[in-house]
Structure 1
Amino acid sequence: MLKAFSDWIWDWPLLVLIIGGGIFFLIYSRFTPFLHFGHTINILRGKYDDDTATGTINHFQALSSAIAATVAMGNISGVAVAIATGGPGAIFWMWISAILGMATKFYTCSLAVLYRKEDETDGIASGPMYVITKGMGEKWKPLAVFFAVAGLVGTLPIFTTNQLTQTLVDVSGISSDYKIYIGILISFFAFVVIIGGIKRIGAVAEKLVPAMVVLYLITVVTILVIKIEEVPYMISLIFSDAFSGEAALGGSLGHLIKTGIKRGSFSNEAGIGTAPMIHGMTKTKEPIREGLVAMIGPLIDTLLVCTLTAFAILATGVWQFSDQNGISLTLLAFNSALPAGLGDILLMIMVLVFAFSTLFSYSHYGVMCLGYLTKPKYGKYYNYFYVLSIIVAAVVKIDVAVNLIDSAFALMAIPTVLSGLLLAPTINDMAKKYFKELKTTSNNTVNTS
C-alpha cells in the first residue's frame, strides 16, 4: 500500500511542482544569490553574527543542524538506493535536483525567517506552516495544517534508524533478531541530546558534522585513487545513462528521472519544508542573509557527499553484481576497495555520527509541527513519541522505511513549494534592497581604505 501510494504521488504532477518550482526560483532570482558565495562564507565565519537579534542559534549552527539532517542516510544509503533502482544515470538527475534545490532553499528559508513566530511565552517557532498563515493569511490555514500533519510522519526517524541498525548488524555479524535491542540503545542516546532542545542539537551538530564530512571526503578520494582507471568510464556512464534509462529497474527514462529527483529531494530536502524549520531559528534580522546560508546545504549534501558515495559505488563496480540495496551496497563498495576490515570500521564511524546527528535534527522538525497543531510549548512532547518510534524503525524492512518517508515528504512538498511560489515576489523585493545595501557598504569600505 505504501509503495503504491509513493509511486502514485511521486509521479509527474509532484515532480513538475518540485522541478518546475526550482526552475522558476532559479530564473526569477536571475541567479543573483549564486553570485554572492563570498559573502555567504563571511556570514558563516561569523562576520555578521548579531547576538542582539531574535533567534536561538547562529548562522553556522543553523547550517550544521540542517546539514546534519541531510548528510546522513540520504547520502550514504539513499544514493545506493538510487543506483540500485535507477542505475548510474540517476546521479545526474540528483545533481539537477541539487542545483534547483539551492534556489528553492534560498526562497523558502528566507521566508522562514521573515514569517517566523516570535512570542515571549512560547519562544520562536518557524516553518512553512507559519509562512503560510502569516504570509498568505488565515484563510490558507488548512494548507498549513496539512503540512504539519504530514510533517509529523515525514520527520519520523524510520529510514535513518533502519539503515543505522542494518549497518551495525552487517558489520558486527550479529543476528537480525537483536535489532530491537539496538533500537532501544539508539533511542536512549538520541533522547539524551534531543531533550535539550535546538540549542543542544545545534551545539552538537556544529562539532560533529564538519569533521565527518572531511573524513568521508578523504575515504572516498582514497577509494577513487585506488580505482583511478575506472573513473573516466564511471563519469561517462553517469552522463550516457542519464538519458537512456537502460539501467533502471523500470526500464524507461521517465522512471530514471523520477528516481533521481526523488532521491535528490530526500537527500537535500529542498522544497520539502524541513530545513526552514531550523533556518528560521537563526539569530538574524536579515531574512535574505539566512536564505544565502541555506543555499550551501544542497551544495554540500548532494553535489559533494552524494557524489562521493556514487563514485565509490560505481568505481568499485559492486552495483553490477550485487543484489544488495541501501547501506549494505555502500558497505560492500568500501570493503571491496579498502584493506580488510578498514571499510567496515570507517563507514561504521561515519554512519554512527551522521545517523545520530540526523536523529537529533529531525526531532526538532517534529516538535515544530506538533507545536503548530497545538501550542509551541507543547511541541516538546513529540520527542517522547519520537524516541519510541526509533525502536519500531529498527526492525521494519527497508522498503517500508523508504516508501513511508517518500510519501510523507511528497505531501509536505505541496504546501512548501506553493507558498514559496506565491510569496517569491516579497523575497525578490527584499533581496534587491539587501544586495544594493551590501554593494553600497562594500564600496564605502573600499573608498575609506
Structure 2
Amino acid sequence: MLEFLNELLWGKVLIALLVTVGIGFTVASRFVQFRYFGRMFRILSASQAFQKDKHGHLSSFQALLLSVAGRVGGGNIAGVAVAITLGGPGAVFWMWVVGLMGMATSFLECSLAQTYKVAEPDGTYRGGPAHYISRGLGARWKWMAGLYSILLLLTFGFGFTALQSYAVATSVDDAFGIPVFYTGIALAMVVGLIIFGGVRRIARVAEFLVPIMAGSYLLITAVVLALNIEQIPDVFMLIVNSAFGLEPVVGGGIGAAILMGVKRGLFSNEAGLGSAPNVAAVAYVPHPANQGVVQAFSVFIDTLIICSSTAFIILLSGIYDPAGMSDVGGVALTQSALADHVGDWGRSFVSFALMLFGFSTILYNYYLGENSINFFSTENQNFFNTFRVAIIGLVCWGATTDLGTVFGFADVTMGLLALVNLIALIALFKPGLRILKDFDDQIAEGIEQPVFDVARFKDLNLDAAAWEIEPEDIERVRSRGGRSSQPATERS
C-alpha cells in the first residue's frame, strides 16, 4: 500500500503539480527568480540593518541559513548519485531546470508565509502554510490548515528526524568505526541542549554550522574541478546531450533522465512542500517579497550549487560507468568517486559531510515540528517540552533501528503534505502576485528597499502587529536604501 501511494503521489500527481506551479508562477511573475537574482545579495546585506531590533528577531540571513540547513541533506550526496545511476548524466540537466523553476515556487510560498505571519506575545513571529491557509483561504478552510500541521509534525517532526539520526549514526560508524548506539546517545544529548534553547539557539547553530559544512563541500569540489579542468567541457556536453537522448547509452534513456532529474530535484530543494515557509515567516524584514527573493536563493544553493558539486565529483571520476554497469550506487558511488580523485580519505570526507548535513537537518526538522504544534497551542509549554523529550528519544531510537517502513510512511505523508500546500498555493496565486506587484512598483519608483504597508492590504486578513516595524529600523533601511523607503500611504 505504501509503495502504491508513493508511486501515485510522486510518480504522477505531485510531479505534474510541482512543475505546473513552478512554471506557472515563473511566467506570471515575469521570471522573478531571474529579475531579482542580483538583488538577493543586496537584500542579505541590507538585512544587517534589521538584526538589532529590540525583540531580537531572526534576520533574513539567519532564516536563509536555517532553511539551507534543512534543504541541504542526504539528497545532495546520495540522491544525486541515485539520479545519475538510474537516469544517466542527463538527469543532472533536468535537476537544474527543476531547481530554476523551483526558485519561483519558493518565492511564492515564502512571500505568502511572510505576508500572513502572526506576532507572538514575546514579539517574535510564527507562520507558514498553516497560517496562510487559515488566514488566506478563510475560516472554512481551517481544517486544511490543521491537516497540514499534523502532516508536518508526522513527516518532519517525527519521521525524518529518526531517519536523519540513522543517517548520521551510520555515517559516523562507516567513517570512524564508532558504534551507532554511542553516536545516538551523543547526538541526542547535543540536540537536546540546542532545541531547549528555542529557535534563536537553533538559528545561531545554523549560522555557525551551515557555512562550514557547505563551504568545505564546495572547497573539495573546487579541488576536483581544478584536477580535472580539461574534462569539464566534455562533462557539460555529456550532461546536455544525455538530457535530450543524444548519447548512445545514457542510463535508462531520456524518459528516465527527465523522471529522475525532476524527482531528485524536487526531493532535494523541497520547493513546493511548504517546509521552508515555516522558517521564512520568522524573519524580520521590511517587505514579504524580500524573504521570497532570499528563499529563492536557498533553492539555487541547494540544487544548482551543492547538487551540481556531487554530480561533477561523480562524472569527472573514473568510477562512473555511463552504460550503467557500475557496481556501486547511492552514497557509495559518491564516496568511491571522491576517493578516485583525492585518495581514500575522500570516503571519510563524504561520511563526515553527510554527518554534518544530517545533524543540521535534525535541528531544522525539530523546528518544523514545533511550529506545527504552535498552530494548535501557543501557551501550553507542556506540549512543547513533551515534544522536545520525544525528539531526544527519537534521535536515540532512530540511530539504532532499521527504518525502511518509517521511510516509506514518511514519503507518503510528505506527498500528502505537498499536495495540501500546492492546492493552497494555487488558490493564493493572485495574492502572491499582488504582493510581488507592490514590491515591483516601489522598485520602479526608485526605492532601493521597499517597505510593506499593511494598511493597503486590509482585505487579506493580515496580522497588523506582525508588520509593526520599528522607526529606527526604517531609518537604517532608508540610509542604506537610497532615495526613499516610505510606505505607499506616506508617499501619497
Q: Taking structure 2 as the reference length, what is the TM-score of the superposition?
A: 0.82
Three-state SS of the structure 1 residue aligned to 2:445 is: helix
1:76 equivalenced with 2:77 (yes/no): yes
Kindly state the Cα deviation for residue 350 of structure 1 after the two structures are TM-superposed.
2.9
How many residues of Structure 1 are paired with residues of Structure 2 in the alignment? 441
Question: How far apart in 1 are the matches of 2:328 and 2:379?
Answer: 43
1:270-281 equivalent positions in 2, closer than 5 A: 270-281=271-282
Three-state SS of the structure 1 residue aligned to 2:368 is: helix
Q: Deviations over 1:394-438 (max 9, x none)?
A: 245575565444323211111212212221211222222222223
Q: 1:359 aligns with which of 347, 350, 362?
A: 362
20-29 or 78-87, which deviates more: 78-87
Kindly state the Cα deviation for residue 252 of structure 1 after the two structures are TM-superposed.
5.9
Question: How far apart in 2 are the matches of 1:6 and 1:257?
Answer: 18
Kindly state the Cα deviation for residue 123 of structure 1 after the two structures are TM-superposed.
5.2
Three-state SS of the structure 2 residue aligned to 1:318 is: coil
* Alignment correspondent of 2:36: 36
* Alignment correspondent of 1:436: 441
* Alignment correspondent of 2:262: 261
Letter paired with 1:5: L
Question: How far apart in 2 are the matches of 1:92 and 1:242?
Answer: 6
Three-state SS of the structure 1 residue aligned to 2:282 is: coil
* Alignment correspondent of 1:19: 19
C-alpha change, 1:162 and 1:84, in structure 2 (3 Å) is farther
* Alignment correspondent of 1:425: 430
Question: How far apart in 1 are the matches of 2:73 and 2:218?
Answer: 13
1:187-198 equivalent positions in 2, closer than 5 A: 187-198=188-199
Question: How far apart in 2 are the matches of 1:153 and 1:268?
Answer: 20
- 8 A contact 1:153–1:405 mirrored in 2: yes
Kindly state the Cα deviation for residue 24 of structure 1 after the two structures are TM-superposed.
0.7
Question: How far apart in 1 are the matches of 2:40 and 2:291?
Answer: 9
Letter paired with 1:383: R
* Identity across the alignment (%): 31
Kindly state the Cα deviation for residue 285 of structure 1 after the two structures are TM-superposed.
3.9
* Alignment correspondent of 2:164: 160
Q: Deviations over 1:280-335 (max 9, x none)?
A: 00112411111111110111111001000111012114343543343232222211
Question: How far apart in 1 are the matches of 2:162 and 2:233?
Answer: 37
C-alpha change, 1:372 and 1:387, in structure 2 (3 Å) is same
Kindly state the Cα deviation for residue 254 of structure 1 after the two structures are TM-superposed.
4.3
C-alpha change, 1:127 and 1:48, in structure 2 (3 Å) is same
137-146 or 20-29, which deviates more: 137-146
Letter paired with 1:275: A
Structure 2 portions without partners, runs of 5+: 449-480, 485-492
| Greater Rg by CA | 2
Question: How far apart in 2 are the matches of 1:412 and 1:235?
Answer: 35
- 8 A contact 2:47–2:285 mirrored in 1: no
RMSD: 2.7
199-208 or 43-52, which deviates more: 43-52
C-alpha change, 1:38 and 1:240, in structure 2 (3 Å) is closer
Kindly state the Cα deviation for residue 65 of structure 1 after the two structures are TM-superposed.
0.3
C-alpha change, 1:230 and 1:37, in structure 2 (3 Å) is closer
372-381 or 26-35, which deviates more: 372-381
C-alpha change, 1:9 and 1:67, in structure 2 (3 Å) is same
* Alignment correspondent of 2:98: 97
- 8 A contact 2:22–2:105 mirrored in 1: yes
Kindly state the Cα deviation for residue 229 of structure 1 after the two structures are TM-superposed.
4.8
Question: How far apart in 2 are the matches of 1:59 and 1:205?
Answer: 13
Letter paired with 2:210: V
Letter paired with 2:440: F
* Alignment correspondent of 2:314: 313
Question: How far apart in 2 are the matches of 1:267 and 1:55?
Answer: 31
Question: How far apart in 1 are the matches of 2:424 and 2:223?
Answer: 43
1:350 equivalenced with 2:353 (yes/no): yes
Question: How far apart in 1 are the matches of 2:142 and 2:372?
Answer: 13
- 8 A contact 1:44–1:59 mirrored in 2: yes
Kindly state the Cα deviation for residue 30 of structure 1 after the two structures are TM-superposed.
0.9
Question: How far apart in 1 are the matches of 2:80 and 2:165?
Answer: 17
Question: How far apart in 1 are the matches of 2:434 and 2:224?
Answer: 47
* Alignment correspondent of 2:64: 63
Structure 1 portions without partners, runs of 5+: none
Letter paired with 2:344: A
1:2 equivalenced with 2:2 (yes/no): yes
1:249-398 equivalent positions in 2, closer than 5 A: 251=252, 253-320=254-321, 322-341=326-345, 343-375=346-378, 377=380, 378-379=383-384, 381-397=386-402
- 8 A contact 1:147–1:412 mirrored in 2: yes
Question: How far apart in 2 are the matches of 1:325 and 1:424?
Answer: 40
C-alpha change, 1:315 and 1:404, in structure 2 (3 Å) is farther
301-310 or 221-230, which deviates more: 221-230
* Alignment correspondent of 1:408: 413
Question: How far apart in 2 are the matches of 1:260 and 1:54?
Answer: 43
